[in-house]
């Protein structure tokens, strides 16, 4: 029987994300105000160029803020998991793929268990609850830990593909 399951997890914005958004808006308003003072004082004939620049700046800030919203998509296909990062619901990037048979350790995520030389891929929702870690040896990255937040149905479908000693 073929197994196929998709799950989308929206990353909860952290306080750093909120600070970045606020800084972008504050910076854009400051630059627009400074440009207005310069244009209105020294070169009033370029007011249309100023308005064009402000319009482009507003578009850029909105675009950057929208791209800060992140979702992760987990795709389970017959024992292989693909994790994609979706930014701003526009751009998709493959974060990591692995076979469940290659997993050497699987369980709830505990940062103290991860060694410092391990490559860690975070694809969790950011709340810290129900995060799981799949540890494996990857050809490209070496010792790897993938941190993600699968739901109960995804965990149940993953279980038969895990090595026998990890099925708990």
Q: Where are the domains of the chain?
A: 4-11+72-166, 15-67
3-state secondary structure of 70: strand
CB 126 within 8 A of CB 11: yes
What pLDDT is recorded for position 114? 87
CATH 1.10.3470 fits 4-11+72-166, yes or no: no
Quick check: 113 pLDDT over 90? no
3-state secondary structure of 76: strand
Q: List for the chain the helix, strand, coil content (%; round to 5).
A: 40, 35, 25
What pLDDT is recorded for position 166? 86
Which range (31-35, 41-45, 66-70, 144-148) has the least confidence? 41-45
What pLDDT is recorded for position 55? 95
Q: In what order do the strands lie in the sheet with 132-138?
A: 103-108, 132-138, 142-148, 119-123
What pLDDT is recorded for position 63? 93
- Average the pLDDT over 47-72 and give the result: 93
CB 92 within 8 A of CB 107: no
Query: Which helix (DSSP H) or strand (DSSP E) does residue 50 occupy?
Result: helix 47-67
């Amino acid at each position: 029987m073929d197994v196929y399951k998709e799950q989308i997890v929206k990353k909860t914005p952290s306080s750093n994300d909120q600070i970045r958004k606020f800084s972008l808006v504050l910076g854009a308003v400051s630059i627009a105000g400074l440009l207005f003072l310069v244009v209105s004082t020294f070169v009033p004939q370029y007011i249309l160029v100023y308005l064009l620049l402000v319009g482009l700046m507003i578009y850029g800030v909105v675009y950057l803020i929208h791209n800060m919203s992140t979702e992760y998509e987990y795709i389970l296909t017959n024992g292989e998991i693909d994790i994609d990062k979706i930014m701003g619901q526009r751009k998709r990037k493959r974060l990591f793929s692995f076979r469940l048979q290659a997993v050497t350790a699987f369980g709830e995520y505990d940062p103290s268990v991860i060694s410092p030389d391990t490559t860690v891929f975070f694809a969790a929702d950011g709340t810290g609850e129900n995060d799981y870690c799949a540890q494996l040896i990857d050809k490209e990255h070496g010792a790897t830990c993938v941190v993600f937040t699968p739901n109960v149905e995804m965990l149940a479908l993953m279980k038969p593909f895990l090595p026998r000693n990890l099925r708990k």
